[in-house]
Structure 1
């Protein structure tokens, strides 16, 4: 349960390293694992590395363990248990911060066990209550592209000698010898572009994928579009802080909900209007679609080759990929696959977490595709060749 909580933190953008994880487990063991407040403060003290992590930590903790007032009653005592067993049930909600007036019982893992199961559930099979819980977990997501070295430089202790700052220091000292000033290139995350399919075949997944896009837009340099029968840029609508307000704005802006799919024409429109002018150059482009195409598959294949030549990386997330016996036999998917760098699943929260890891370059084992859509292992030369 605690490991699943740390995985959710990592998906939200908290740099919870292995060392921090071990410190968290040691802190929980040293305190009282049966008290919600102890679990909260142990994680806050060990898993957060900066001020920006605090808000994300509190949001993930509330989504994973339930609201602040939820707690579980004390279980019946067992004679010399060999390992700690956490049992939790819902209790009346009491306002207050974590730990206010809590009994000395097991941690208030009201939603923790179900949240861990929910991570691997297909979004299309969830009921209303599970979808509400999923929305809380998606709100804590963070999507960041792979780091790239920019042309700008900053002062650093190591790196190349900065001649201007070194000469200025010599002049300030009247020509006396001074320490060499150095600088290094600034690393910035690459732009991420999300193309979310909102056609009829993607209706069970559209809400979850758009909430994933909302968290990505709020987190950093991410552009979002919806594709169906039309191409609609929804970055501005998704920039609202409240996810529900953002979803309402997207619903009003997108005219082609649950319609057909014209992937080839819309990818061409994206490239002509935005991608060729710079949005896709050196960016990580993610298509979230099942690959059903009503138009000409050859057109989609040509446009995907154009996109592949412009972008740093092209990732395709297909919710149907997780189904038993799935094969990319749909005409659109088969035509696009040779121009895709990574082909991943997109049906569950765990699949979206892995997609986020692939986008930021942390998942080197992502399925690659080469040739006519055959699966291949990671390509170590790919990143070096692409500028």
Structure 2
């Protein structure tokens, strides 16, 4: 039997090795999905996870589940995210039923054979569910597929994975201070502790600067040219709205603030409310005018000041490109960082030749792709400052 941790079958070293490699790739993809959902799956934890599954083997899905839960989760906050990502990535509950603790009826095996399979063995395997590694492999392939090319079943799986996303802005130091074991001495708390003890010696109280994630502002293009990607991007925005200080607007022929509509925890309810609130689906694009409206009404008052602003658009502009360029320069002066995610960027031979995209690019700090789940994971890393993506092909002032 070949294990997920890279062990090979003695009777079939080549086949066992390739199976183990595929299984390891699937587990690493699962770890990346957990990171995108906000779980702190560090390299050490992932290594421990792969080794644990390697010892257990890919026999039961419950083994894969519990190995990850015990090695990848660092606290209670991670458990709910882990449950959601596991169900979406491996295609169901750990046991194929409603509970995790009960053992499944059959073991999930990854076996590589050269000769014919005995009838009894084939009959047993027909009653088995697909191995966890093979289910994960399909999710790993899905991560890199263009959203516009997915069928209905793949879109449903993508929606489940997007529901587990988390998006947090780059962390910044605040003026507020919090109690800490290390840091500067807090004179007020120290004096209060001495008074409480009646002047008896007491340990010094300390405090440190508190960290806080920056606000994230998402501007999602819902025009006709972005129709194949709008649903996935808005579901990404829905997950982001529950992960921290995030504001969401749709842009097309009008500017619509949809943060309230996306406050529903159920993604489908949120999409229904959003569809009723947005009047300009599949219309044209007036990026320059709408960006000016956003800055005049919201951004100048403080929403964009010091924030990470993400524009999710293909850059097609029906209005004046010079107006878009001027408003992008204005936005760049207000925001901490400006990121542009373009689904068309992943296409072979793409160049930012559209007038709107060319006008906006000099004021963009990071120009990234937005066509697939893996691209959105990279976008989330850029937003939190963990994955710098400099602008290519643009001269920054």
Count matched residues.
351
- CA RMSD after TM alignment: 1.7
- Aligned residue among 94, 99, 104 for 1:101: 104
Contact 1:292 1:333 in 2 (8 A): yes
Structure 1 stretches of 4+ moved >4 Å: none
Q: How far did residue 319 of structure 1 move?
A: 0.3
Q: How far did residue 170 of structure 1 move?
A: 2.7
Contact 2:286 2:319 in 1 (8 A): yes
Q: Which runs of 5 or more residues in structure 2 are unaligned?
A: 1-25, 110-130
- Aligned residue among 174, 177, 196 for 1:150: 174
Residues 180, 118 of structure 1: alpha-carbon distance in 2 compared, 3 angstrom cutoff: same
Alignment partner, residue 142 of structure 2: 118
Cα-to-partner distance string for 1:31-62 (whole Å, 9 max, x where unaligned): 23221000000000110001111011011001
The answer to whether structure 1 residue 319 and structure 2 residue 343 are counterparts is yes
Contact 1:367 1:375 in 2 (8 A): no
The answer to whether structure 1 residue 373 and structure 2 residue 397 are counterparts is no
Contact 2:65 2:94 in 1 (8 A): no
Contact 2:95 2:102 in 1 (8 A): no
- Cα distance in 1 between the residues matched to 2:283 and 2:199: 73
Cα-to-partner distance string for 1:161-188 (whole Å, 9 max, x where unaligned): 1111122223333444433221001101
After TM superposition, the structure 1 = structure 2 runs for residues 40-189 of structure 1, keeping only pairs within 5 Å, are 40-68=65-93, 94-97=97-100, 100-106=103-109, 107-109=131-133, 111-189=135-213
Alignment partner, residue 199 of structure 1: 223
TM score, norm. by length of structure 2: 0.85
TM score, norm. by length of structure 1: 0.87
Cα-to-partner distance string for 1:306-349 (whole Å, 9 max, x where unaligned): 11011111000000001111111111101111110000000000
Contact 1:35 1:99 in 2 (8 A): no
Contact 1:40 1:98 in 2 (8 A): no
Contact 2:343 2:370 in 1 (8 A): yes
The answer to whether structure 1 residue 295 and structure 2 residue 322 are counterparts is no
Q: Which runs of 5 or more residues in structure 1 are unaligned?
A: 72-93, 377-387
Residues 375, 102 of structure 1: alpha-carbon distance in 2 compared, 3 angstrom cutoff: farther
Alignment partner, residue 27 of structure 2: 2
Contact 1:123 1:204 in 2 (8 A): yes
- Cα distance in 1 between the residues matched to 2:275 and 2:95: 33
Contact 1:70 1:108 in 2 (8 A): no
